[in-house]
């Protein structure tokens, strides 16, 4: 078959014909000649086409039908007919289920189309999509669902608030993520009820939400969690302190770094503490860092090296001139990453490729 004939034949494929048919029907609906009777009949055929489009992940073609009907519903000659189709077809449970099934199958491939269609359908979509997102096991699909929910903005908050009363930490954390993304500080009353939750992982997520909105009561709660008996909770609290660069927590986090840890069980916490302190960029901590860098250990040499490396990684967050003494230790290190970081920051101080004579 000659290539130019193959091109012509492509027009006969079902998906092409359906797309053109849909556009032609949209033209007819928008024309002056259409009568009410024909408008309704064509709406029925268009709805069927829309089902076919959504079942095969053709979000843009579905959106085109929706948008046209929406335009008609605003002021067309048959606005009530168009409005009814939007309400009873596009916002129906059946259509929503089809859409969610299509999102799972094609949403990742066609994120833009999925997002563009989910926005106008948010009224009926947000509840079922939230339920599906909370139960979704596939991480990529869950991330997609959450991103679509985030794009729905503040309208999502009442639905999220209703779902917040759960003991499942994973679900609550996802919901609080949505509060942070879509809510404001006026949406925090329910969140505050979670601060004393028996599951402290829910509590830390609630604190994170308060920290996000910079509320006055967030810091005292964070300090409580920094003192938690549960290592996992402490670790999360440390990460939050670093994430929100809370210099007020420096003494508490430094305290964690100072704790004796003969068995090395708190190693992850200490690394996290260094990272958090580094993020805060408070120069008062540099003496403490310096002491760690000068420490020698025969028992937990590997773990100490990890800690030292984390210190060097954090040095980029401080003014170069304040960390110079530490960099001098780094440039003579056997660890290539420490050496590279030190050289990089030294370069900022003295110019690339230059090192001080006594280094």
Partner 1 sequence: MPERIAAIISDLMGAASNAALHSKEHPSVEDFCKKALLGLEPFFSSGAASFAITGYTLRFNDFLTLSQKSLVVGTFVDKLRRKGIGKVTIRKGVTTTELAAFVADLLPSERTPRSSPRIFVEQTSSTRTAGTPEILGEMLPAAVRIVKEAHRKVLKAEPVDLDDLEGLVVRFIHLLGQPQSILDVVKPHRANQDYSYVHAVRVSLLAIDLARAIGMEGDPLHQVGLAGLLFDVGRLFIPHEVLNKTGDLDERERATIQQHPLYGAMYLAALEDIPKLAVIAAFEHHMKFDGTGYPDTRWRDRHQHIVSQIVSLTDFFDALRAQQPYRKAYAIPLIVKKMQEGARKEFNPVLVQEFTGRLDRLGLLR
Is residue 4 involved in binding partner 1 (CB under 8 A)?
A: yes
139 forms part of the interface with partner 1 (CB under 8 A) = no
Total of chain residues touching partner 1, rule CB under 8 A: 43
List the one residue from 59, 63, 66, 68 that touches partner 1 (CB under 8 A). Answer: 68
241 binds partner 1 (CB under 8 A): no
Kindly state whether residue 185 participates in binding partner 1, applying the rule CB under 8 A. no
Cα–Cα dist 32/35, whole Å: 8
C-alpha 319: how far from chain center: 31
* 42 touching partner 1, by CB under 8 A: yes
Q: Considering the rule CB under 8 A, would residue 135 count as an interface residue with partner 1?
A: no
Determine which residue in the list 38, 230, 258, 287 makes contact with partner 1, applying CB under 8 A: 38
Under rule CB under 8 A, which residues in 44-63 are in contact with partner 1? Answer: 44-45, 48-49, 51-52, 55-57
* Residue 73 near partner 1 by CB under 8 A: no
Whether 281 contacts 246, CB under 8 Å: no
If you search the block for the tokens 């096991």, which residue do you land on? 137
| Token pair recorded at residue 191 | 């969140």
Cα–Cα distance for residue pair 302/270, rounded to 1 Å: 14
Contacts of residue 65, Cβ cutoff 8 Å, sequence gap at least 6: 22, 26, 46, 49, 50, 53
Q: How far is the CB of 143 from partner 1 (least distance, A)?
A: 19
CA distance 310 to 305: 9
Phi/psi zone of residue 273: left (φ > 0), alpha (ψ -120 to 50 degrees), beta?
A: alpha
Of 294, 279, 300, nearest in space to 330 by CA: 294
Contacting residue, 77, 79, 91, 101, with partner 1 by CB under 8 A: 101
Least CB distance from residue 35 to partner 1, whole Å? 8
Neighbouring residues of 44: CB distance < 8 A, sequence distance ≥ 6: none
Q: Tokens 């068995």 correspond to what residue?
A: 263
**Residue 151: CB minimum distance to partner 1, A:** 24
- Report which DSSP code applies to 90: I
The answer to whether 14 contacts partner 1 (rule: CB under 8 A) is yes
- Residue from 87, 88, 92, 105 touching partner 1 (CB under 8 A): that is 105
Binding mask 286-315 for partner 1 (x = CB under 8 A): ------------------------------
Q: In the complex with partner 1, which residue's Cβ is closer, 14 or 321? A: 14
Q: Distance between CA atoms of 35 and 53, rounded to whole angstroms?
A: 26
* Contact present, 237 and 204 (Cβ < 8 Å): yes
Min dist CB 131 to partner 1, Å, is 18
Does 28 sit near partner 1 (CB under 8 A)? yes
- Backbone angle region of 199, left / alpha / beta, with phi > 0 → left and psi within -120 to 50 → alpha: beta
- CA torsion, ordered 184, 190, 196, 200, to nearest 10 deg: -70
Would you put residue 138 in left (φ > 0), alpha (ψ -120 to 50) or beta?
beta
Give the range of 27-35, 111-119, 172-180, 289-297 binding partner 1 by CB under 8 A. 27-35
The distance of closest approach from Cβ of residue 124 to partner 1 in the complex, given in angstroms and rounded to an integer, is 20
Asked whether position 111 contacts partner 1 by CB under 8 A, the answer is: no
| Cβ closest to partner 1, residue 13 vs residue 92 | 13
Find the shortest distance in angstroms from Cβ 64 to partner 1. Answer: 7
User: Residues in the site for partner 1, rule: CB under 8 A?
Assistant: 1, 4-5, 8-9, 11-18, 20-21, 23-28, 30-34, 37-38, 41-42, 44-45, 48-49, 51-52, 55-57, 64, 68, 101, 105
């Amino acid at each position: 078959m000659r290539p130019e004939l193959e091109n012509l034949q492509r027009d006969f494929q079902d998906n092409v014909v359906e797309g053109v048919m849909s556009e032609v029907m949209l033209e007819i609906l928008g024309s002056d000649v259409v009568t009410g009777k024909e408008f309704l009949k064509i709406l029925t055929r268009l709805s069927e086409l829309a089902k076919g489009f959504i079942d095969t992940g053709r979000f843009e073609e579905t959106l085109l039908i929706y948008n046209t009907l929406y335009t008609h519903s605003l002021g067309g000659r048959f606005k009530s007919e168009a409005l009814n189709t939007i309400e009873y077809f596009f916002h129906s449970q059946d259509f929503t289920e089809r859409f969610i099934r299509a999102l799972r199958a094609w949403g990742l491939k066609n994120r833009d189309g999925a997002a563009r269609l989910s926005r106008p359908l948010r009224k009926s979509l947000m509840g079922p999509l939230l339920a599906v997102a909370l139960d979704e096991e596939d991480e990529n699909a869950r991330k997609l669902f959450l991103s679509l929910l985030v794009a729905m903005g503040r309208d999502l908050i009442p639905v999220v608030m209703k779902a917040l009363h759960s003991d499942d930490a994973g679900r609550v954390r996802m919901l609080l993520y949505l509060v942070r993304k879509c809510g404001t500080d006026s949406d925090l009353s329910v969140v505050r009820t979670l601060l004393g939750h028996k599951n402290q992982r829910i509590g830390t997520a609630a604190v994170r939400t308060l920290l996000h909105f910079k509320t006055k009561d967030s810091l005292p709660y964070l300090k409580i969690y920094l003192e938690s008996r549960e290592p996992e909770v402490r670790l999360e609290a440390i990460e939050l302190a670093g994430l929100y660069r809370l210099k007020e927590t420096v003494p508490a986090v430094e305290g964690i770094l100072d704790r004796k840890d003969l068995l090395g069980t708190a190693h992850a916490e200490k690394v996290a503490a260094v990272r958090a302190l580094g993020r805060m960029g408070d120069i008062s901590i540099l003496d403490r860092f310096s002491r760690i860098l000068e420490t020698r250990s025969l028992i937990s040499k590997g773990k100490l090296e990890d800690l030292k490396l984390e210190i060097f990684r954090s040095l980029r967050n401080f003014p170069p001139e304040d960390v110079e003494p530490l960099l001098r230790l780094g440039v003579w290190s056997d660890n290539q990453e420490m050496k590279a970081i030190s050289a990089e920051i030294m370069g900022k101080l003295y110019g690339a490729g230059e090192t001080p004579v006594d280094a």
